């Protein structure tokens, strides 16, 4: 497997150095030792905060406020570091392990960037390659394996339809109940290349703004 060796020749090399991330690791270790509340947290007790921060990050994205997004990404990053710090204390894994796994995954699933595959500007083709490599890695018994049932209903519907389409199965809603019609709208959005979850959030924001 090809390994990333830094930016291609001719591209600027200035940018993030990672020094702050190293310092953040030290900060997390110290907080776990010196703060009673943080020392008492577990993966389960932090789960609600991870969910809250993810939704607050989505809100920042929707508002288009860069400063707000910067802050919320920091809060979301805190949750990642917090969970990794807890895991490191039991010897399960460290934040370095998390980053290493992510780097290796990006290299494997982007052969047009890091491997021998020809470069491509076709985003659809790139996504298909990604999904094919992911399917080989996961070796799922069912097309629905790995879909969290707690996903928002619209996002879950979108994911299910995507899995069905990739497996070659029919995605036509079975009837004319309200749920079936909602599912049909998700299928319509997919056919038009629209994210139904984002489209609904945008519509609700417009209604709320006019109220």
CATH of the domain at 44: 1.10.287.1080
Helical ranges in 90-177 per DSSP H? 95-109, 111-114, 123-138, 153-167
Report percent pLDDT > 90 for the chain: 51
CB 76 within 8 A of CB 57: yes
Residues 32 and 86 in one domain: yes
Residues 26 and 73 in one domain: yes
Q: How far apart are CA 26 and CA 106, in angstroms?
A: 26
Of 78, 91, 98, 94, residue with least CA distance to 38: 78
Report percent pLDDT > 70 for the chain: 91
Does residue 5 or residue 56 have the better pLDDT?
56
Global pTM?
Answer: 0.72
Identify the band that residue 121 occupies on the pLDDT scale cut at 50, 70 and 90.
confident
Would the pLDDT of 127 be above 60?
yes
| DSSP assignments along 25-53, one per residue | HHHHHHHHHH-HHHHT--HHHHHHHHHHH
Residues 153 and 130 in one domain: no
pLDDT given at position 11: 52
Residues 121 and 57 in one domain: no
Residues 170 and 205 in one domain: yes
* Phi, psi for 16 (deg, rounded to 5): -55, 135
Residues 106 and 163 in one domain: no
Identify the band that residue 123 occupies on the pLDDT scale cut at 50, 70 and 90.
confident
pLDDT given at position 2: 43
Residues 85 and 101 in one domain: no
Q: What angle do CA 191, 110, 138 make, to 5 degrees?
A: 75
Q: How far apart are CA 36 and CA 25, in angstroms?
A: 18
Instruction: Give the residue numbers spanning the domain of 24.
Output: 20-93
Tokens of 195: 């994210």
CB 50 within 8 A of CB 61: no
pLDDT given at position 125: 84
Domain boundary among 93, 113, 128: 93
Residues 114 and 61 in one domain: no
Number of domains, the chain: 3
- Min mean pLDDT across 20-29, 32-41, 53-62, 142-151 is at 142-151
- Min mean pLDDT across 26-35, 72-81, 106-115 is at 106-115
Q: Judge whether 2 lies within some domain.
A: no
Q: Judge whether 25 lies within some domain.
A: yes
Instruction: Report, in angstroms and rounded to the nearest whole number, the Rg of the chain calculated over CA atoms.
Output: 21
Q: Judge whether 12 lies within some domain.
A: no
CB 42 within 8 A of CB 86: yes
Identify the band that residue 210 occupies on the pLDDT scale cut at 50, 70 and 90.
low
Q: Judge whether 9 lies within some domain.
A: no
Domain boundary among 59, 93, 127: 93
Read off the pLDDT of residues 165-188 as tens digits, 9 standing for 90 and up.
877 887 777 788 999 999 999 999
Q: Judge whether 3 lies within some domain.
A: no
Tokens of 53: 């921060």
Q: Judge whether 117 lies within some domain.
A: yes
Q: Judge whether 11 lies within some domain.
A: no
Mean pLDDT in residue range 46-75: 94
Residues 135 and 166 in one domain: no
Work out the number of other CB atoms within 10 angstroms of the CB of residue 97. Answer: 13
């Amino acid at each position: 497997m090809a390994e990333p060796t830094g930016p291609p020749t001719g591209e600027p090399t200035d940018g993030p150095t990672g020094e702050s991330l190293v310092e953040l690791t030290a900060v997390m270790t110290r907080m776990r030792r010196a703060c009673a509340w943080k020392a008492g947290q577990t993966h389960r007790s932090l789960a609600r905060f991870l969910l809250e921060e993810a939704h607050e990050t989505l809100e920042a994205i929707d508002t288009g406020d860069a400063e707000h997004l910067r802050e919320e990404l920091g809060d979301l990053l805190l949750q990642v570091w917090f969970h990794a710090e807890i895991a490191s204390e039991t010897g399960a894994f460290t934040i370095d392990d998390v980053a290493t796994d992510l780097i290796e995954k990006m290299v494997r699933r982007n052969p047009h960037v890091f491997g021998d595959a020809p470069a491509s500007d076709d985003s659809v083709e790139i996504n298909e390659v990604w999904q094919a490599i992911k399917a080989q890695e996961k070796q799922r018994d069912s097309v629905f394996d790995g879909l969290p049932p707690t996903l928002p209903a619209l996002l879950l519907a979108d994911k299910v339809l995507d899995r069905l389409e990739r497996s070659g199965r029919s995605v036509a809603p079975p009837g004319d109940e309200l749920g079936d019609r909602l599912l049909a709208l998700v299928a319509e959005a997919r056919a038009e290349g629209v994210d139904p979850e984002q489209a609904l959030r945008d519509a609700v924001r417009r209604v709320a703004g006019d109220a």
